[in-house]
Structure 1
Amino acid sequence: MKKKLYLLLLLITPLFLINCGSDDDGPDYLAELVGTWESTQIVTSNCPSADDNGTLTCDPFCINIEINADGTYTLQQANFDTQQIETETGTLTVTETTIHLCEDGESCDDNDPATYVKTSNTRLTVTFTSDGCQNAASFVKQ
Structure 2
Amino acid sequence: MPMGDWADVYSTARDIASLRDRYGLTSDNASVQAKFDQMMSVADALERNYDASTERVKNAELLRARLNEVTTPQQKEDLQLRYQQELIEQQNQQMRLANMQMLQQQQEKMENEKRAQAFSDYMNGKTSVRPSYD
TM class by smaller structure: under 0.3
Q: By percentage of residues, which structure has more strand? A: 1
The structure, 1 or 2, with the larger RCO (C-alpha pairs under 8 Å, 6+ apart) is: 1
TM-score, scaled relative to structure 2 = 0.26
Q: By percentage of residues, which structure has more helix? A: 2
TM-score, scaled relative to structure 1 = 0.25
